[in-house]
A and B are shown apart, each in its own frame.
Chain A
Amino acid sequence: MGSAVIDTCFLINWARFSEREKLKLLFDRLFMPEITFSEVRSMVALGLASEWLASRFLVLAPVLPTNEEEVEGILKLVASHPQIPSIDPPELYAFILARRLEVPLLTDNKAPKRVSQLSGGYSVPVLDSLDVLKLISDRGFELRELVAKFMEETGFRFSRSRLEEVGLIG
């Protein structure tokens, strides 16, 4: 097991998922940049954050000075490809933190994953909720059931191509 960086979206989505504790089968510690934590406001997400902070499963990471060239390079990549959604400062910082710590970034935002896939230079393992559910299923759980429950409880849908990727449709 190892650690990972999470962003606000991932925390707020998983706060509604009744099987969220299964994340602990994959990771022993999650880092969340303080800058992203300030976006957490709902009681559901704050409740989960408090519980995980108390058990030190979740750790807030201080904001470190960013490398201007690194930020500029990522923004240039985003600017030159309309297929990559805009990347907000908290999201950008979570991406950079994951890269520095050399751990995966857990996020349901498409921009970090696409930046990572398109540019070898900013390669960071970026996992979204479906990737994480697949990893959990590899530990002996039924993927179809996990996905169905996740969709029902969090208001998510997965595209046909993503479901094909994880083998749920042929």
Chain B
Amino acid sequence: MGEKAEELLRKWEKEDEEAREIRRREADWDFIRSQPPRLRMALELYVELGDLHLAARIAGMTVDEFNELRLKARIPVVL
């Protein structure tokens, strides 16, 4: 792998860590903890990874339905 690719991978790791911190900080943890287990797991996974498709699959919802839940849980999408 070239130097440029290595640099990109490092940049993404840093961006992902920053995004995770923002999601953890802004999430409404009382709301998340009040959810049924399956939804709570999905929301917690979203906080950690920011992956809407994966979290929606855990929740048993479409991405659109999960996005509504994300908004209620005040978890931001971080780009």
Q: Which A positions have Cβ atoms within 8 angstroms of B? A: 8-9, 12-13, 38-42, 45, 81, 83-86, 88, 91, 108-110, 114, 117-118, 128-130, 154-162
Provided the pairs A12-B63, A91-B53, A118-B8 are in contact, do residues A161 and B15 lie with their beta carbons within 8 angstroms?
yes
> B12 to nearest A CB, angstroms?
4
Q: How many residues of B contact A (CB 8 A)?
A: 33
Q: Which of B22, B63, B79 contacts A39 (CB 8 A)?
A: B63
Q: Which chain A residues border B77 with CB–CB below 8 Å?
A: 13, 108, 154-157
For the complex, would chain B's binding face be called helix, strand, loop or mixed by DSSP majority?
A: helix
Instruction: Write the B41-79 contact mask toward A (1 if CB under 8 angstroms, else 0).
Output: 000000001111110000000111101101100111111
Some 8 contacts from A to B, beta carbons below 8 A apart, are: A41-B65, A42-B64, A45-B64, A118-B9, A155-B75, A156-B76, A158-B79, A160-B18
**A14 vs B44: C-alpha distance in the bound complex, in angstroms?**
24
Q: Which chain B residues border A157 with CB–CB below 8 Å?
A: 19, 22, 26, 76-79
> B40 to nearest A CB, angstroms?
19
Do A129 and B79 touch (CB < 8 A)? Answer: yes
Provided the pairs A9-B52, A88-B53 are in contact, do residues A39 and B9 lie with their beta carbons within 8 angstroms?
no
Q: Which of A8, A38, A41, A86 contacts B54 (CB 8 A)?
A: A86
CB of B33 closer than 8 Å to a CB of A: no
